[in-house]
Amino acid sequence: MGTKNVMEPLAPTKSKNVSKILDQYGRAPIHLAGTDNGLYERHLLFDNVIDLAGADARDRLEAFARSVQDVLSQRWTRTESTYERENPKRVYYLSMEFLIGRSFANNVTNLLLDPLASESVRQENINWAELLEQEPDAALGNGGLGRLAACFLESMATMQLPAMSYGLRYEYGIFKQLIQDGWQREQPDNWLRRQDPWEVARPHEKVEVKLNCSFVISGGALLPDRPSSLIGIPFDRPVVSYGGKTINTLRLWAASAPEFFDFQAFSHGDFVGAVAETLEAESLTRVLYPDDSTSMGQGLRFVQEYFLVACSLADLVRRFRRINADWNAFPEQVAIQLNDTHPTMAIPELMRILLDDEHLRWDEAWDITRRTLAYTNHTLLPKALEKWPLAWFEVMLPRHLEIIFEINRRLLDSVRTRFLGDEGRVQRVSLVEEDAGRKIRMANLAIVGSHIHSKLLRTTTVKDLAEIFPERFSNKTNGVTPRRWLLLSNTITEAIGDDWITDLSQLRRRKPLAVDAGFRLAFRKAKREAKMQFADWLKSTSDISVDPETIFDSQVKRIHEYKRQLLNALRIVVVYNRLRQNPDLDIAPRTFFFSGKAAPAYQLAKLIIKFINNLAGTIDGDPAVRGRLKVVFLPEYSASLAERLIPAWDVSNQISTAGYEACGTSNMKFMMNGALTVGTRDGATIEMAEQAGEENFFLFGLTAEQVVSSRAWYNPHWHYENEPETRAALDLIFSDYFSRNEPRVFAPLRDTLLTPGDYYCT
Ligand code: PLP
């Protein structure tokens, strides 16, 4: 990427001494609370206009968070002015999703304010746990892709890289999941109902986005109207590095109508119509698409993607031009990372800017574009690769379509020259899919117009393009930030000091401690405490009792056939049958936990949730297995739930059909927190097992290559006919044993497992 740290070196203060922490921030004295002019009291009074006695828990959170924001603000402006002064190469991370979760505890910890916060909490008699619960998750993402983006931001700030991230300010994040009668029900997540204390609106930095037509939304569909423009208003959120030295920015765009009224309509008396247009425009960034791993042909999403790209490029080009006169310097000064294909329109948009606004020649513009943009691929499922109807480009972005056609013409000319007569290859690499209803293949466009991060992809999904442009592909394994996902486990710091917090490779120093009885005891104690804490929380919030002495076995992630929650559930049925047949069977008592959302239109995934819940209910009602086997489905999987449960788990299930999980992220979080992995050779689990030694993993199942070759011979009926336990488990399910009042509700599971041939090798 070529970016470098330009901030002056500053070692994070390791002191618990409050005055030393304050010295770091260069403005003494700061009192978060506890004095007449403590920040907390001032914010309560002057922002919320309420006194201490009248404040509710949410008021207290807002005041506390604003106090923390006060501490970081100076650092934030200083970070930006350092970048302006030093003019380093900047990295811009474009993503339609940021699954940030809560910011409060993370910001306090990264600013090293924990001792100060504890002191304030004590002085003010604040209930810390209650305070933390007041912050809604910023759930602006579906799953791994969005969580990866959030981890990257924090890590880039901690590495002091001049990075800025762009996304959309959805008013509604991923839906809230309720479970009713075992079924998933979706409810809107209005996370901005109360003002978010972290975000800073910057209306003076607004940008204008031109569309060939405006749109009206009718019945959820997008209808084109006359030519129009939209305004993007940036809302900035601080991205706090560990140690608090660098505060980078996450800039989220909110859509708005141009500030002018339609005066003609207005003067003809249509005041309401003129205002309604504003509402139409604002609806563009109202809601995140609740979809995971499949592209949905939705016009609104198409405009959302273009809006993100157009606003962000206008903003970063404006910043580049403020300091740089020469366009040739652009790829040396700017790296733009596209998180999946969602922001791929950055390619034709940057070409449009360079060709039409800046009047560069095609070859120059293409060279700059290709060297500036990089694309991260996240999916190996061919049907999940985005394709947009050509007709939508024709209506809304005709100039971009023209540019895409020209990119394609040049690409196909060169492929024809190189692979004479191989028309099949030409069709496969083309940016335009000519099947029924012509479509633009966004992944092909992203690969042709950038450099790309992927490994498995080059041997499977886009093999033809990988053969033509081998030098453009490189593999980067996902990562997770150790601050959010490990820092709270204090046995590590006690054992090896705290250098690991910013240099994870230091964890290797724990290896000799594997045989240290004292460390092992401390580790077990920490794990047990985490399990007890989780059990207490679960009891107090949902009245479910779980026994921390049982093995906590987890599978928490989006519900998807390829992730194979169904395989895990079938195995539980097998164990249940064994216990029913042999009540004296000697097995360690276990509690199986599942959590995860299903895309609202993904019926089979929703049925899997229903099955797990029915399984849990039936097992709970059976005294024969009480205390030995329990199943719990935790509703509303979110980043904050993940933070709560990951440290408490003994076993992590990473059991996707090999070849389908591009990487995974919770696999690493569980392992870092000392869980044992039951897994397939898929995604980053492969590399984790290599690092830790396969003997320390519970690996099973086919490899990705074997899955491919098994298509020729795998027959689920064989297992049904020849394996008595498999047959007994399936027969129990299909006898409606788990659905006595809902006959045949699980019949579709039989269809998917047995009738067409069990595509995911369950
Ligand atoms: N969803 C949420 C809320 C998460 O916190 C995470 C990871 O922590 C994921 C999804 C991704 O999980 P996985 O990598 O297991 O698919």
- Separation CA 486–CA 382 (nearest Å): 34
Q: How confident is the model at residue 253 (pLDDT cuts 50, 70, 90)?
A: very high
| Among 428, 341, 303, residue whose Cα is nearest residue 97 | 341
Q: DSSP of 179-239, one letter per residue?
A: EETTEEEEE---TTSS--SS-EE-GGG-EEEEESS-EEEETTEEEE-SSEEEEEEEEEEEE
Ligand 1 centroid to Cα of residue 18, in Å, is 36
Taking CA atoms only, the protein residue closest to ligand 1 atom 7 is 666
What 3-state DSSP class applies to 293?
A: coil
* Whether residue 101 has its Cβ less than 6 Å from ligand 1: no
Range with the poorest average pLDDT among 184-193, 252-261, 640-649: 252-261
For range 614-623, the mean pLDDT: 97
Q: Is residue 121 part of a domain?
A: no
**At 44, which helix (H) or strand (E)?**
helix 39-46
The H or E element spanning position 165 is strand 163-168
Ligand 1 center to 666 CA (angstroms) = 5
Tens-digit pLDDT profile for residues 663-720: 899 999 999 898 999 999 999 999 999 988 999 999 999 999 999 999 889 999 999 9
- Give a yes or no: residue 125 inside a domain: no
Q: Which residues pair with 138 in a beta bridge?
A: 101
Decide if 481 is inside a domain: no
The yes-or-no verdict on residue 16 having pLDDT over 80 is no
731 assigned to some structural domain: yes
Residue (of 403, 383, 735, 732) closest to 578 by Cα position: 732
Instruction: Name the residue with tokens 């700061």.
Output: 30
Question: What average pLDDT does range 29-41 have in this prediction?
Answer: 67
Indicate whether this model's pTM tops 0.85. Answer: yes
| 154 CB burial (10 A radius; 0-12, 13-18, 19+) | buried
Calpha distance 405→395 (Å, rounded) = 15
Residue 18 has pLDDT above 50, yes or no: no
**Would you state the pLDDT for residue 451?**
73
Q: 276 pLDDT exceeds 80?
A: no
Residue 10: what pLDDT?
41
- Predicted confidence (pLDDT) at residue 505 exceeds the cutoff of 80: yes
pLDDT digits (tens, 9 = 90+) for 306-322: 999 999 999 999 999 99
Q: Could you tell me which residues are beta bridge partners of residue 140?
A: 98
* C-alpha to C-alpha distance for 639 and 137, rounded to whole angstroms: 7
pLDDT digits (tens, 9 = 90+) for 528-560: 999 999 999 999 999 899 999 999 999 999 999
* Strand 176-180 to 163-168 pairing: unpaired
Query: Mapping DSSP to helix (H, G, I), strand (E, B) and coil, where does residue 91 land?
Result: strand
Average pLDDT value for the chain: 88
Regarding the beta carbon of 664 and ligand 1, being less than 6 Å apart is answered yes
Question: Is 605:559 a contact under the CB 8 Å cutoff?
Answer: yes
Lowest mean pLDDT among 53-62, 178-187, 188-197, 220-229: 220-229
Of 291 and 664, the structure prediction assigns the larger pLDDT to: 664
> d(Cα 465, Cα 446) in Å, to the nearest integer?
11
Query: Exposed (0-12), middle (13-18) or buried (19+): which is 734, by Cβ within 10 Å?
Result: middle
Indicate the range of 5-19, 703-717, 731-745 predicted with least confidence.
5-19
For residue 636, pLDDT over 60 is answered with yes
Kindly report the CATH number assigned to the domain that includes residue 647.
3.40.50.2000
Q: Residue 143's Cα: distance from chain center in Å? A: 4
pLDDT at 445 over 90: yes
Q: Which one, of 715, 439, 723, 739, lies nearest residue 612 by Cα?
A: 739
C-alpha distances (whole Å) from 180 to each of 24, 555, 614 are: 51, 21, 11
| Ligand 1 mean position, distance from CA 192 (Å) | 22
Domain for residue 601, yes or no? yes
Which of 226, 213, 440 lies closest to 344 in space, CA to CA?
A: 440
Dihedral (Cα; 559, 563, 569, 575), 10-degree rounding: -160
Tell me, yes or no, whether 313 lies in a domain: no
Residue 261 in this model has a pLDDT that exceeds 80: no
Instruction: Tell whether the model's pLDDT for residue 272 goes beyond 90.
Output: no
Ligand 1 neighbourhood includes 669 CB (under 6 angstroms): yes
pLDDT for residue 307: 96
Count CA atoms within 13 Å of residue 567 on its CB side: 22
Ligand 1 in reach of 425 Cβ (< 6 A):
no
If 0-12 CB within 10 Å is exposed, 13-18 middle and 19+ buried, where does residue 128 land? middle
Ligand 1: does its nearest atom lie under 6 Å from the Cβ of 478? no
- 530 Cα to the center of ligand 1, angstroms: 20
pLDDT over threshold 80, residue 216: no
642 lines ligand 1 (CB under 6 A): yes
Gap between the Cα atoms of 677 and 682, Å rounded: 12
207-211 and 228-240 strand pairing: antiparallel
The helix (run of H) or strand (run of E) holding residue 638 is none
Q: Is the CB of 147 under 6 A from ligand 1?
A: yes
Stretch 360-378: mean pLDDT, rounded? Answer: 94
Ligand 1 pocket check for 244: Cβ under 6 Å: no
Residue 209 domain-assigned (yes or no):
no
Separation of alpha carbons 401 and 411, rounded Å: 15
CA of 558 to the centre of ligand 1 (A): 7
- Tell me the per-residue pLDDT of 100-143, one tens digit each, with 9 for 90 and over: 999 999 999 999 998 888 888 888 888 888 999 999 999 999 99
Catalytic residues: 378, 557-558, 563, 665, 669
Task: Give the residue numbers spanning the domain of 722.
Answer: 549-754
Of 276-290, 535-549, 646-660, the one with minimum mean pLDDT is: 276-290
What is the CA angle 128-641-252, rounded to 5? 90
pLDDT band of 238, cuts 50, 70, 90: very high
Is the per-residue pLDDT at 241 higher than 60? yes
Q: How far is CA 695 from CA 516, 649, 677, in A?
A: 20, 20, 11
- Res. 14: pLDDT tops 50: no
219 part of a folded domain: no
CA dist 360 and 362 (Å) reads 7
The DSSP secondary-structure symbol of 258 reads -
Mutation probe of ligand 1 site: the residue of 381, 666, 671 with most atoms within 8 A of C-beta? 666
Chain CA centroid to CA 458, Å: 23
- What's the number of domains the chain is made of? 1
CA neighbor of 393 nearest in space, from 345, 454, 456, 334 = 345
Contact 725, 719 (CB under 8 A): no
Q: Provide the token pair at 545.
A: 């009792």
pLDDT score at 373: 95
The answer on pLDDT for 11 being more than 50 is no
Ligand 1 atom closest to the CA of 144, numbered from 1: 11
> Ligand 1 centroid vs 151 CA: distance in angstroms?
11
